[in-house]
Amino acid sequence: MNTYGRQPVTFEKGVGVWLYDAHGDAYLDALSGVAVNGLGHAHPKFVATVSAQIGRLIHVSNIYHIAEQARLADKLAEISGMDKVFFCNSGCEANEASIKLARLYGHHKGVENPEIIVMERAFHGRTMATLSATGNRKTQAGFEPLVSGFVRVPYDDLEAVKQVAKRKNNVVAILVEPVQGEGGIHIPADMAAYFQGLRQVCDENGWLLMMDEVQSGIGRTGTWFAFQHTGIIPDVMSLAKGLGSGVPIGACLAKGVAADVFTPGKHGSTFGGNPLAATAGISTLDIITEEKLRENAEAMGNFLNAQFTEAFKGNKAVVNIRNAGLMIGIELDRPCSELVKTALANKLLINVTAEKVIRLLPPLIISQQEAQELVNRLVPIVKTFLDVTSK
């Protein structure tokens, strides 16, 4: 169906940070399939591990115990401090699980009409519940009636959340991205203070703090999960994108009371956490550890930010350059979606989100030389665009 405005290119293979089209032309991938291919393309160890699993067992269904799923759950629990995991196949499904979990938690407490606080500019997916939780009218328009039960507040505004706590007695959870991705790479001004504040409001009111780490998780911001920059731990966390390095997998993790809300029959997924997807998750986590890719994400993110800051110094049309590891946003003073095509013509794959923000999500394996090449390709394109579009 006609659901995508696609770029005029088809890729035949990939190696590391490079994608190749049918003519053999190489493109520098600074988007990673939207934060999915953290290991780059065709990582030899990942390919070998996943290929071997395909030869052994792909799927059996959750009617049976799945050893690979249990192993991945243990690993995720260990690196996150969470207690239990539900596996699904995508980010919106992981958030659907979080939303269902919060509602069930509310009903168990006797809250008849439970509501969840969500943020302006948030993105949580495109299923009915998750597009209703999303803070972007364009995502919602035409799909009314929306799912009810969400209260919206501005992002990075603790006071607004406290006001809701005073006003309402049926709130059961907050759903929030630690760094807003689709919304334009927004990082709270004082990330630790904001999330510590949210943690406190949740504790005082018996609410669940639910973090959507679908884009920010799995090493992208320099830690396994972005919440690990804040000194607190959420009750619920959703994952997907980078978790399977391209093999579809999502996960909803929970801790403490939240971990025991679901009982058999309350939620499920046919494919969720099957041997193939779980093995892809295990291999991804192993390689991130072995190759120190969290450390690399932090170092390369800071390197890229410094390079862009230097290159655009004094240019008033570049409003802000910000990054959390390899989630990088360059905000311009004007809409710039046409830069995606210009970059493509220059063999560079980027994204523009929230109309004015150039979004870069390079693979976690990117080397400094490749990062420099990314700068060398992007800076002149942006400078020319700003010149041409200035009066």
Q: How far is the CB of 147 from ligand PLP (least distance, A)?
A: 15
215 binds ligand PLP, rule: CB under 6 A: yes
Q: How far is the CB of 183 from ligand PLP (least distance, A)?
A: 9
Which of the residues 229 through 268 are near ligand PLP (CB under 6 A)? Answer: 240-241
Strands (DSSP E) found in 83-190: 84-88, 115-119, 150-153, 171-176
50 binds ligand PLP, rule: CB under 6 A: no
Q: How far is the CB of 108 from ligand PLP (least distance, A)?
A: 26
Distance (Å, whole) CA 135 – CA 124? 9
39 binds ligand PLP, rule: CB under 6 A: no
Number of residues that bind ligand PLP (CB under 6 A): 15
Q: How far is the CB of 4 from ligand PLP (least distance, A)?
A: 12
Q: In what order do the strands lie in the sheet with 327-332?
A: 318-324, 327-332, 357-360, 351-353
Stretch that binds ligand PLP, among 197-205, 210-218, 302-310, 350-358 (CB under 6 A): 210-218
Would you say 185 and 327 are in contact if contact means Cβ atoms under 8 Å apart? Answer: yes
318 SS3 class: strand
98 binds ligand PLP, rule: CB under 6 A: no
* DSSP conformational letter for 149: -
Distance (Å, whole) CA 120 – CA 142? 19
Nearer Cβ to ligand PLP (122/318): 122
Distance (Å, whole) CA 64 – CA 271? 12
Q: Which of 14, 40, 91, 234 binds ligand PLP (CB under 6 A)?
A: 91
Q: Which of 68, 96, 212, 331 binds ligand PLP (CB under 6 A)?
A: 212
Which H or E element spans position 137?
Answer: helix 137-140
Q: How far is the CB of 21 from ligand PLP (least distance, A)?
A: 25
Q: How far is the CB of 231 from ligand PLP (least distance, A)?
A: 21
Q: What is the 3-state secondary structure (H, E, C) of 272-298?
A: CCCHHHHHHHHHHHHHHHHCCHHHHHH
Q: How far is the CB of 197 from ligand PLP (least distance, A)?
A: 21
Kindly state the tokens that stand for 147. Answer: 């799912």
129 binds ligand PLP, rule: CB under 6 A: no
Would you say 11 and 19 are in contact if contact means Cβ atoms under 8 Å apart? Answer: yes
Nearer Cβ to ligand PLP (29/177): 177
125 binds ligand PLP, rule: CB under 6 A: yes
329 binds ligand PLP, rule: CB under 6 A: no
Phi, psi of 96 (to 5 degrees): -55, -45
124 binds ligand PLP, rule: CB under 6 A: yes
Q: How far is the CB of 97 from ligand PLP (least distance, A)?
A: 12
Would you say 210 and 315 are in contact if contact means Cβ atoms under 8 Å apart? Answer: no
Give residue number: closest CB to ligand PLP: 91
Q: What share of the chain is helix, strand, coil (3-state, %, to 5)?
A: 40, 20, 40
Q: Which of 177, 235, 331, 370 binds ligand PLP (CB under 6 A)?
A: 177
Q: Which residues are at the interface with ligand PLP (CB under 6 A)?
A: 90-92, 95, 123-125, 177, 181-182, 212, 214-215, 240-241
